[in-house]
Structure 1
Amino acid sequence: MSWMRRTLLSVFHYPVKWLVKPHTTPSDVETELNIDRHKPIIYLLPSNSVTDQLALRMASKKLGLPCPTNEVSLAGHDYPNCLFLRKTQPVIARGGKIKTNIEEVFTDLFHLHRDNPDTDVQIVPVFISWGRAPGKGKPGLSDLIADVATPSWLRKLFIVLFLGRDNFISLSKAVSSRDMAAQHGSDELIAHKLVRLASTHFQRKRQSLTGPTLLERQELHNAVLGSESVKKAIGEAGQSKKRTPEKARQDALDYINEIAADYREGLIRVGDRLLGRIWNKIYNGISVHHSERIRDLARNGHEIIYVPCHRSHMDYLLLTYVIYHEGMVTPHIAAGINLNFWPVGKIFRRGGAFFLRRSFAGNKLYTAVFREYLELLFNKGYSVKYYPEGGRSRTGRLIPPKTGMLAMTMQALLKGVNRPVSIVPVYIGYENVMEVKSYLNELKGSSKKKESNWQVFSAIRKLKNYGYGYVNFGEPIQLNQYLEKQIPDWRETLPDDPEKKPNWLTPMVNELANEVMLRINKSAAINGMALTSLCLLSSKNKTMSQRELVQSLDACLTLLRAQPYSSDFSVPDDSAEDMMKHTLSLNRFEVSNDGYGKLISPQKDNAVFLTYYRNNILHLFALPGIIMSAVFTHKVCRRDYILRLVAALYPLLQRELFIHMTQDEALSYTDRLITQLLAQGLVQQKGECLLPPEANDAAFHPAWLLSRCMQETFQRYLVVLTIIEKERVISRGQLERASRQVAERLSTLYGLSSPEFYDKNVLSSFITALRENHWLDSTSDGSLKYSEESDALRQDVMLLVWPEIVQHLENVELH
């Protein structure tokens, strides 16, 4: 390193330290990037910048990586720790050469490998961005100062002053110099290839961080109004008596302005700072898993569509915040038109939200405009986020998906999208959801309150300790591959009219929507609030001693760690005792002392709120719940009986709870669970029979709780099956109404605290599952008919339900 370079690094060390705050991705360089901290590293940067090198030095120190301002010694030769693709531009450009001698250095390095084959260096590409502003069609004043890939020192001065707190350092997977040297070709050719690949890689990194060039408003109008589908819809609308062609075109223009986002990177930066303060105030932290998946997709040039579950209005902010801090461009977000009120609507729109109406039915012009806008986003390379459930879950369970947005996505793919398109399911979880009280009121019959400024201010005023937030990125679905697998000959079956849907599209989209929901739940996150709620609600009086609660939490955590629900779900590393302490610190539970020890219960009248959090993870305990319920019900039962019972009930549970396993996988998982339950002492074995633990055994209480966690589900199943058994033949509408009335009565009589116990959507989903799995017959007029298969299922379920509930259902008289 020259004396001039050393001097500059020394001079600018403290100014950069004071002005710059680097954000580094990823944080786990060893696992995600295969970087070995004990092997020599050479960093490869796009441009030769002192401030870039100093920012990287700050980041590398935090990550425990070698200092980029030092040198590395290889076989007696000294090489700089940093290499650069391009030189810094002069203040007054003279059209001179801006390439560095990097190819000569790499050539020399590869030549060194010929004489020293054991030498190996990790070449780590590092992209450094100051700010995340996308390019603009019309440059502004700020672009004259900052928008240059290799700015002069004068421009870099302004960049550091204004964007030093928005410095992003993105490291990539290490490239082995030994592997590169072993490739065919001369050292010069290999070095040239490496530099060319690095240049392409940095271009993709820039796009994944900043996104594509912003759409100017006029360009947007021309693109949408000039599309064939919109012109056709305008023509058809203009032929009606109510609209002239000019009025129809103006309506289309108004629809564009109503729908389209108006993305402003400056607002995102301000939002990042504001949200950082909010998260620190209301959350103890945000747990993120599998974010490497979205970075891999971006690196490979994929169009990314995020499809998260929808728990809260916080989802809009939390997921965008996480994506931003994982080094990805923030997506355009599909938001309900109910959120487009002043001034929140304008803020959301500038944050990337585009608005859609709840229903497009009958408005062909609006449908055409919206679909064309969505296709334009895909083709321009914008990442997009929409919620497959359509609205927020009021019960904590996943809602059966709405398929409209997915159908439009697939239609865009059929018409041709320039890049591969991948859907990324996302599980979002909270230890506290601020809207949970209003959700339960709505489930009890009150009308949904319209969003307003007062609601926003009220929510901000109530901000308090909400524990942890959880974001798990699920296994992506590569749509091009999915389409090829589902419909191999899809190209030959496309209709001549590109606006007409092929016959196979709707059933295929339905399958895709279901797969999305399965992968969301496959990525579930266990947390203390959800697990404590499950334990307390399973206890007889919703009250447990501290010792019993810790034992039960430990048993559940041990079970899931030993036999994971999936490779994508997450369990905290906390001990059961630490989890309980943290959960109690959220001040959502009553802690009392009766002289024998601490008792833990829900706060007064708050037990019903816990059902929301339990339902977030109930699908993880469905199979353990069946096993333990069968063992406690029969006192003595065989393993093959439990497997037969699971085979009968699993298709119904899978449909209701979106469990990702196939029938065979579920049976195999059940068998492993039984083995683990035996190992933990939650189940005893005598010969070939399985028994519950003795009442004086420490494992008895956790085992008993697991046997009760699915009780309300079994009771709901028995309600529906008993009504059909009494009527023998009944219409679907009558069955749903009667089931809801009886379930609501049971809830009142026996103090059941789950509003979804009589929720019409949950009951409807179960009835659909009964029909699809042929547990019910159909008559010629479409009514449902009781059968021998129905009776066999009812007998199995009846044995699992508490006797007092069975007796009440046997005696209930239907109206």
Structure 2
Amino acid sequence: MSHFLGLSSFFFTILRKILFFWVKTEVVGNEKDFLQLDPDKPVCYVLQYSSFSSRLVLEQECLAAGLPSSQAPLPIGGKGIRRSFFFLYSRQGQWFRKRQSPTVTQRLKHMVHEATLNSDLDVQIVPVSLLWGREPEKQKSMFKMLLSDSWSVAGRLQKFLIILVHGRRTFVQFSKPISLKSIVDETSSETENHEEIATRKLARILRVHFRRTRQAILGPDLSHRRTLVHSLIHSTVVKDVIRETAKEEGISPEKVKARAIKYGDEIAANLSMTVIRFLSRLLSWVWNKIYNGVNIRNIETVQEIAKENAVVYVPCHRSHIDYLLLSYVLYKHGVMVPHIAAGINLNMPIVGPLLRRGGAFFMRRSFKDNKLYAAIFNEYLYQMFSKGYSVEYFVEGGRSRTGRTLQPRPGMIAMTVRSFLRNSSKPIAFVPVYVGYEKVLEGRTYLGELRGKKKEKESVFGLFRSLSNLRKSFGKVNVNFGDPIFLSKFLDEQQPHWKDQAYDAEYRPKWLNHVVNELADEIVTRINDASSINPINMTGLILLSTAKQAMDEKILASQMDTFSNLLKQMPYSPHMSYPEGCGKDWLEYAEEMGLVSRQKQNLGDIITLEGNNATLMTYYRNNILHLYAVPALIASLFQNNPMMKREKVVFLVRSIYPYIKAELFIHWSKEEISEVAEQWIDVLINNDMLHVEGDSLCRPSTGSANFVLLSVLARFIIQTIERYYISIAVLRNQGPGVLDAAELEEQSTQMAQRMSILYGLNAPEFFDKTLFRHFISNLKENGIITEDEAGKLIYSEKLAGVVEDAKLVLNAEMRQGVLQVTTLS
């Protein structure tokens, strides 16, 4: 018998090696850190479908990853089990074999039986999903059906063809182990048929697991593009708009219908897995050329969510690389790439068709005045969600030129919510994604635009010009997936009775705008929760907080360590990430990237920001400004005050916080901020940046190292408060009932630009119109200013209190400078 087993093993090994002369695999989840297998417990693998070739692939990947062999005996019970694997589905017949329903195999029964007899026995059951070709089926495609591994008639000839055609694109995903003991223990209360019930439950869990995993990897079946476009025209809502448009324009419905088909053709994606695979290989080469690595965090959450939900990926928008990078990361980790909303300006020759086949669907910047286009686009999005496709769009609208998260534009979110209200059978989950660059590809372009240069229009020639960047290094990229938002749960919280209403394509409930705005703010807030700190933004954060953007090398490295440790003591979010190494390593890295300069000195080298780098570094600093906003606000209160009562500090933080929260999308609510401020005060005390004297807080002695640290921390937020003061000073100087909101915004912007020149501020966002607009809007929301019948701004006595509070933060020179410039103007 042992001779037979040895011979069988020999032939199995030979066939495995022959198979892998042709087969190439992509494997996910086989890392030991991910599986966390207990070496003291036996391991048994489970494959979905009975297939000898699948056994060969499984064993190859187990050996390659250093995992326990699937061919080894499973040491449980007296005789044990011959092999450490089993199939969930079996087949009948020879050449044309049909799959049966999930089969409870003898191996599974034996394992459950032994676990029932021995309460200490546990087997780690590892589900392994294996897909030949990893390609979603096209509806009504006989060729794809013939070569699909899910076709009900699957014989040896078909399997040979599948391996021949798809074998070089084989995808294998290991999932976390299921404890046999836990399943048996959960059913132990059953007095009768305990063993049978445990067996059926385990088979059911595995069946659901494989179905959901397949859904996450492949997504739903793809509709033929022409079929999809014509289905849009046949929807009731689009038919109504076609008739209405024909009547308004006095033309035949057929002409309007032809226009509608043209719109649908302009919008619809044409996702091709051949192009996806090509882009995957191309982008692998590109990332290796321009980046030192792509770090990914919390991808496991996405893999689980995609099994049951239509996923809406909502990344921050810092670069055109964002959507390419996200699709690449998802594809490499076994998640189906999303359909991506792209601006119509990207539908250029060569590039447009390639992006469309990569999953992009194109949308015009505005279509409020085009009812027909709006109806087609809304219907397209509705069909995407109702069929369970994943979608990606940028809630900020455009790319951030300042490095801050921009105010969300709720248009796409509103369409998503309305689609869900029409048909909530398929759950929708929003997944915030933070993409953190150490050096953004368009950095120099942004620099020109921030200084007033006209935005360049995208073109093929511009794309070719950007290829020169392939010779440069852009450091590492961090892709952090944040805490998901489940739309149904969010609606339950905002509108508990939303399910009691009936919704059609045209109905907009009164509460819709409020809920959409709340959802938009929650999305960008959770994007910020997943921020990444890296050596570049830490270097910029501190150097830009010095008067001359220069600092002693050792002091700079030490301060980077200090401020990094502050966040570790009071973490902003469990989803954020930190860089490896220490301040000294980060500083050397920033120098290698060419973003800081070194001046040699006998007493110690000085690190400086020179020329364009000083302005460019504000972009990277702004990526993480929200992480330090609250402690920086506390520190700023001690710049002009050596001592202050603790309760006064908390009161002032509570007063100023709503404006900073709204601008930087910080996650703590107004009700929570007092407690958070108290906690941050304790952290600063523990780090000797504040001292306690009775019921008062004191800053360190002037000139001490800790006083310098407190001053640097304060400067993280001072410019933001100065900008607020400019608007208030302009308003008070003009008096009530003189300016409307637009005039105040314009005058504040001009004033800030002048102050920037006079005081040498290298921060273009200091005079960003949108920031002033948002601040003025928040003053209205908080009742500080109101509008009269003519739309002019009226302010209450609260404004005087705000001015008095500003004296505690801003130094006399800055306040006087603002007032002088305002008065002269």
Report TM bin, short chain.
Answer: over 0.9
Q: Residues 502 and 636 (structure 1 numbering): CA distance in 2 closer, same or farther, change over 3 Å?
A: same
* Contact kept in structure 2, 1:378 and 1:417, CA below 8 Å: no
* Contact kept in structure 2, 1:548 and 1:701, CA below 8 Å: no
Within a 5 Å distance, the mapping from 1:416-815 to structure 2 comes to 416-463=423-470, 464-494=472-502, 498-694=505-701, 697-729=704-736, 730-812=739-821, 813=823, 815=825
**Identity of aligned pairs, percent?**
37
SS at match of 1:240: helix
Q: CA deviation at 1:7?
A: 3.4
User: 1:379: which partner in 2?
Assistant: 386
Q: CA deviation at 1:288?
A: 1.4
SS at match of 2:426: coil
Within a 5 Å distance, the mapping from 1:53-452 to structure 2 comes to 53-61=55-63, 64-79=66-81, 80-87=83-90, 92-93=95-96, 95=97, 102-139=104-141, 141=143, 144-145=146-147, 147-148=149-150, 152=155, 155-156=158-159, 159-160=162-163, 163-164=166-167, 166-182=169-185, 183=187, 184=190, 185-241=193-249, 243-299=251-307, 301-452=308-459
SS at match of 1:12: helix
Greater CA drift, 313-322 or 455-464: 455-464
TM-score by length of 2: 0.93
- Separation in 2, partners of 1:491, 1:777: 37
Q: Residues 27 and 693 (structure 1 numbering): CA distance in 2 closer, same or farther, change over 3 Å?
A: farther
* Contact kept in structure 1, 2:116 and 2:195, CA below 8 Å: no
Count how many residue pairs are aligned between Structure 1 and Structure 2. 811
Q: CA deviation at 1:719?
A: 0.3
SS at match of 2:386: helix
Greater CA drift, 239-248 or 84-93: 84-93
Q: CA deviation at 1:37?
A: 4.3
- Separation in 1, partners of 2:473, 2:106: 57
Q: CA deviation at 1:146?
A: 5.5
Q: Residues 141 and 115 (structure 1 numbering): CA distance in 2 closer, same or farther, change over 3 Å?
A: closer
SS at match of 1:632: coil
Q: Residues 38 and 600 (structure 1 numbering): CA distance in 2 closer, same or farther, change over 3 Å?
A: farther
Greater CA drift, 790-799 or 620-629: 790-799
- Separation in 1, partners of 2:587, 2:177: 41
- Name structure 2 gaps, 5 residues minimum: none
What is the CA deviation profile of residues 142-194 of structure 1, one whole-angstrom value per residue up to 9, with x for unaligned ones?
A: 66445456965555555556545533322233222122223134423432343
SS at match of 1:127: strand
* Contact kept in structure 1, 2:149 and 2:162, CA below 8 Å: no
- Separation in 1, partners of 2:40, 2:764: 56
* Contact kept in structure 2, 1:103 and 1:195, CA below 8 Å: no
Letter in 2 for 1:197: I
Greater CA drift, 270-279 or 667-676: 667-676
- Separation in 2, partners of 1:380, 1:96: 28
* Contact kept in structure 2, 1:552 and 1:701, CA below 8 Å: no
* Contact kept in structure 2, 1:127 and 1:171, CA below 8 Å: yes
* Contact kept in structure 1, 2:341 and 2:363, CA below 8 Å: yes
- Separation in 2, partners of 1:134, 1:157: 20
- Separation in 2, partners of 1:140, 1:274: 30
TM-score by length of 1: 0.95
- Separation in 2, partners of 1:756, 1:570: 25
* Contact kept in structure 2, 1:639 and 1:690, CA below 8 Å: yes
- Separation in 1, partners of 2:447, 2:93: 64
* Contact kept in structure 1, 2:129 and 2:173, CA below 8 Å: yes
- Separation in 1, partners of 2:546, 2:180: 61
* Contact kept in structure 2, 1:427 and 1:474, CA below 8 Å: yes
Letter in 2 for 1:25: V
Q: CA deviation at 1:465?
A: 1.0
Q: Residues 69 and 330 (structure 1 numbering): CA distance in 2 closer, same or farther, change over 3 Å?
A: same
Letter in 2 for 1:123: I
* Contact kept in structure 2, 1:91 and 1:154, CA below 8 Å: no
Q: CA deviation at 1:381?
A: 1.4
Q: Residues 140 and 149 (structure 1 numbering): CA distance in 2 closer, same or farther, change over 3 Å?
A: closer
Q: Residues 77 and 144 (structure 1 numbering): CA distance in 2 closer, same or farther, change over 3 Å?
A: same
- Separation in 2, partners of 1:28, 1:648: 49
- Separation in 2, partners of 1:741, 1:657: 22
Letter in 2 for 1:225: I
SS at match of 1:355: strand
SS at match of 1:470: strand
Q: CA deviation at 1:100?
A: 8.9
Q: Residues 27 and 661 (structure 1 numbering): CA distance in 2 closer, same or farther, change over 3 Å?
A: farther
Q: CA deviation at 1:596?
A: 2.2
Greater CA drift, 69-78 or 374-383: 69-78
Q: CA deviation at 1:96?
A: 6.0
Q: Residues 642 and 18 (structure 1 numbering): CA distance in 2 closer, same or farther, change over 3 Å?
A: farther
* Contact kept in structure 1, 2:230 and 2:261, CA below 8 Å: no
Q: Residues 370 and 599 (structure 1 numbering): CA distance in 2 closer, same or farther, change over 3 Å?
A: same
What is the CA deviation profile of residues 595-641 of structure 1, one whole-angstrom value per residue up to 9, with x for unaligned ones?
A: 22222122433211111111111111111111111223212223222
* Contact kept in structure 2, 1:302 and 1:422, CA below 8 Å: yes
SS at match of 1:402: coil
- Separation in 2, partners of 1:467, 1:84: 45
Could you say what the CA RMSD is over the residues aligned between the two structures, in angstroms?
2.4
User: 2:14: which partner in 1?
Assistant: 11
Does residue 1:45 correspond to 2:47, yes or no?
yes
Letter in 2 for 1:334: A
Letter in 2 for 1:784: L
* Contact kept in structure 2, 1:425 and 1:520, CA below 8 Å: yes
Q: CA deviation at 1:650?
A: 0.5
Letter in 1 for 2:761: L
Q: CA deviation at 1:49?
A: 3.7
* Contact kept in structure 2, 1:237 and 1:365, CA below 8 Å: yes
- Separation in 1, partners of 2:19, 2:760: 63
* Contact kept in structure 2, 1:777 and 1:784, CA below 8 Å: yes
Q: CA deviation at 1:727?
A: 1.6
* Contact kept in structure 2, 1:493 and 1:502, CA below 8 Å: no
